[in-house]
Structure 1
């Protein structure tokens, strides 16, 4: 048993390393739109007023740009460009654009454009739903997040010491257009910000930032040319873990015959917080738990599930983990898990959780034809106050054997999608599987819907029972034929 446990631990470590290496090779979002290498966004707009909001309250920076744009060209325009550095493009995720005055109108088309892989400046192109007429204005709300953008300083701390993170940004919001007026607001998790860059005032203006509790404001600034940058670095206290999932494999298996839908999530989890400066002291850790001080270690994870979820399980490479609690009633279903050990900065923990649910709550049949509509959450990871970031997500929806004409819809930005066959026990050709891939996603996208439509012919539902019946008949006939054989030993007849 000890040998098996050792082998499992080695395999777990190798799997973790491979997953981490694969995650680190994640490419930035690209587009089929390839522009000339000398491309420069045409100066068809100006930013009349811009407010840049940087939220550092979670373990990843979330930024929002509220900007009033005006068309300065002689004809209508519908393409607005946002610049990012190549490093930002590799870690940016979940970029969405809305009309600030009409947020219910839906998301604008926004995609990364490729023009010169050697350039340090890359672009996102926003397509306005309607071309903006000359000298008219529109308010845009642009939001996005960065993964792996925070650095602990110092990189090593004691088991009971506070952690400080460093974030670097520009006091001037990077833009490809002239900006007439702007300011940058930074929201911290607490008022403990020991180090920050001071931007001197100009033209009689006071220096920045102006402090108001846990919020710093840089600006406002007057007219600035396109591409203006003012580097700012802040160092602030963050007494929580920095939870990062390098890879999440999520399976959703639909069974029409059993009336069941099974969910399973396989996590490769890391804590990007500051590493321990000394070896872990379990006695000190146990004594701390009586008054539960703030810690950078991951002590537990909470999974709010859909009402009606049942039969949850929590396993890691060693086997079943008993330190979990599941509470379910008519109003909620919560799964709370505790890893085998507290996960400090620099530590990894691969594990999986799964549960079942009644298929009727997620699937409905269309009134006409043989079509079905499946509505499931795209992501149901842990819901933590410090937030969770996902570098690579692979979601697989396994439909019944014989399902065809598979279509899907989701507001989660995807980088890949394919329909393949998934072969399981007693299948003939294999079950239809829809595989979706997303990168650089944060837990703000948790519970976003994934809608899958497919056709399931009536006769296809009898394929599995027919296979099982045929198998039983075959086994019976084989047993009958073997039983009729005379295998006795007889002497030679004289």
Structure 2
């Protein structure tokens, strides 16, 4: 219809209808009146699909990913199916012309991790074809769509951030499609777009290629968020394929905030391990366990006794080395000094073991008896050492023969070995 500011004597309106036979129409329609509608009744066997609701969510991550998810409700407004649906008849070709077995959607070429599901779960009857400039997805609902039927599904995918998110300093620009190509000749009654921006963004500005209704911004909290992420909400009705255009959202973001959440995770784990370390070292019992405390004290005393005995056993070899040196150089004064030094060290260790022996007797009588036996064996070992020194002095002075000395030294050595084995058996039993 053409509106003119001048008087019009004759006006014609040409109405082009889709394929099909014209059944009836109103002949008295006046095209110059805006308040009057014309009705045209024609035959059309093609499907009448319409998206009653499209909910699109775009989640922006500055770590290199942009996630997109579309929740779609589609209704077939064609003539309602009469009777029950027969899968067998449908496979034989009956009703194919009036039904929709599949929907062909076109996604960006870099789309990855594509998923397609409904209320029941994942739908495996779909195919993805990678093209040069797009990604073609053929979606097959669980049932073909006949007149009066509807379906609900969710389709989502990820995009690399470098293709849609642009940065200059601390200023960012997001460039995305308002909607994707869902099917041929698509009609969308209502679309709601929610753009989830990173936390702590400021100075948000929108540029749209067509008029949209911007609702109040929302706040959405996800993992590790404190103040929440800003959500830009846009709404538009009566959309067609021509509305598949790109919009832009500009915002500011301080890059130092990018490492805030990783720092929170590291701090949380550090505090957790610190609390565990403190917890395992604290005694939360109301009353002390005297038996357990006594065992700990006994174990500490036993460990100290074993340490002293280990040092004392090392002195036994020092005794042997001093005597061997004396046999070679026959220096009496040097031997006396070195032997006296070893004797003093030995006495100091014996005195310490005796003190520990007195303490352990109050807590563990059986263990005290073993320590006493260990001390007795040490005394006998010292006597054998003294006897060996005496025999060495006698052979050096010529009072006994070398043959007699060797016999006596072998006998003393055998007794030493026996005493050492007994002492080792006692220390292992402590």
Q: Give the alignment's TM-score, normalised by structure 1.
A: 0.54
- Give the secondary-structure state (helix, strand or coil) at the position aligned to 1:388: coil
Q: Matches of 2:12 and 2:257 in 1, distance apart? A: 61
- Give the secondary-structure state (helix, strand or coil) at the position aligned to 1:185: coil
Residues 277-317 of structure 1: per-residue CA shift (max 9 Å, x gap): 1111111001118xx9422x221111111111111100000
Residues 455-492 of structure 1: per-residue CA shift (max 9 Å, x gap): 11122222222222222223322333333344789645
1:81 matched to which residue of 2? Answer: none
Please tell me whether the aligned partners of residues 414 and 437 of structure 1 are also in contact (alpha carbons under 8 angstroms).
yes
Counterparts of residues 381-420 of structure 1 (less than 5 Å): 381-384=181-184, 387-420=185-218
Counterparts of residues 149-160 of structure 1 (less than 5 Å): none
Please tell me whether the aligned partners of residues 404 and 432 of structure 1 are also in contact (alpha carbons under 8 angstroms).
no
How many angstroms does 1:351 deviate by? 1.0
- Give the secondary-structure state (helix, strand or coil) at the position aligned to 2:261: helix
Please tell me whether the aligned partners of residues 371 and 453 of structure 1 are also in contact (alpha carbons under 8 angstroms).
yes
2:390 matched to which residue of 1? Answer: none
Query: Which of residues 68, 91, 99 is equivalent to 1:263?
Result: 68
2:97 matched to which residue of 1? Answer: 294
Of Structure 1 and Structure 2, the greater helix share is in: 2
Query: Which of residues 45, 54, 74 is equivalent to 1:248?
Result: 54
Q: Matches of 2:154 and 2:49 in 1, distance apart? A: 16
1:441 matched to which residue of 2? Answer: 239
Higher relative contact order (CA 8 A, sep 6+): 1
- Runs (5+) with no aligned partner, structure 2: 295-430
1:189 matched to which residue of 2? Answer: 18
Q: Give the alignment's TM-score, normalised by structure 2.
A: 0.62
Closer/same/farther in 2, CA of residues 345 and 486 from structure 1, 3 Å limit: farther
Q: Matches of 1:315 and 1:328 in 2, distance apart? A: 20
1:466 matched to which residue of 2? Answer: 263
Q: Matches of 2:41 and 2:102 in 1, distance apart? A: 27
How many angstroms does 1:243 deviate by? 1.4
How many angstroms does 1:411 deviate by? 2.5
- Superposed CA RMSD in Å reads 2.7
Q: Matches of 2:56 and 2:147 in 1, distance apart? A: 25
Closer/same/farther in 2, CA of residues 234 and 405 from structure 1, 3 Å limit: same
Please tell me whether the aligned partners of residues 128 and 135 of structure 2 are also in contact (alpha carbons under 8 angstroms).
yes
Q: Matches of 2:176 and 2:187 in 1, distance apart? A: 20
How many angstroms does 1:240 deviate by? 2.0
Query: Which of residues 109, 112, 131 is equivalent to 1:310?
Result: 112
Q: Matches of 1:280 and 1:250 in 2, distance apart? A: 32
Q: Matches of 1:270 and 1:415 in 2, distance apart? A: 24
Say if 2:151 is the partner of 1:349.
Answer: yes
Q: Matches of 1:420 and 1:349 in 2, distance apart? A: 29
Instruction: Mark the structure with the bigger radius of gyration.
Output: 2
Counterparts of residues 75-224 of structure 1 (less than 5 Å): 179=8, 182-199=11-28
How many angstroms does 1:196 deviate by? 2.7
Query: Which of residues 279, 285, 291 is equivalent to 2:90?
Result: 285
Q: Matches of 2:230 and 2:119 in 1, distance apart? A: 29
Closer/same/farther in 2, CA of residues 267 and 282 from structure 1, 3 Å limit: same
Closer/same/farther in 2, CA of residues 229 and 350 from structure 1, 3 Å limit: closer
Closer/same/farther in 2, CA of residues 197 and 372 from structure 1, 3 Å limit: same
Closer/same/farther in 2, CA of residues 490 and 336 from structure 1, 3 Å limit: farther
Closer/same/farther in 2, CA of residues 69 and 404 from structure 1, 3 Å limit: farther
- Runs (5+) with no aligned partner, structure 1: 1-51, 53-66, 73-177, 200-217
How many angstroms does 1:448 deviate by? 1.3
